[in-house]
Amino acid sequence: MNESLFHHTKQEEHCPKCGSILQMKQGKKGLFLGCSAYPQCDYLRPLHRVEHKVLKELEESCPQCGDLLQLKQGAFGMFIGCRAYPQCDFVVHEEQK
């Protein structure tokens, strides 16, 4: 088991939006930290950032910004995304084709 999960339960963190205590919660996509003042404050963040592995540089340009597109592997399968991410958020998931 990943020991960093326990790190969050031992260390008190405060919401950057409202200052309330953040709590570890279970969602559809896994564990996340959510504000204890929910629903008045909707701040949340995933416990672990999922990295997207670039499988192939494509010769096609992004329709939003003009940069090149990349074939990437993420936590939920392959997708095509803009090389300029996070400045450009264009994405096409495998099931959208």
CA distance 86 to 35: 24
Nearest to 41 by CA among 24, 26, 19, 9: 19
CA–centroid distance for 9 within its chain? 21
* Beta carbons of 82 and 64 less than 8 angstroms apart: yes
Average pLDDT over residues 27-31: 76
pLDDT of residue 60: 93
Q: Are strands 53-61 and 30-35 parallel, antiparallel or unpaired?
A: unpaired
Question: 39-66 pLDDT, tens per residue?
Answer: 999 998 877 665 678 899 999 999 999 9
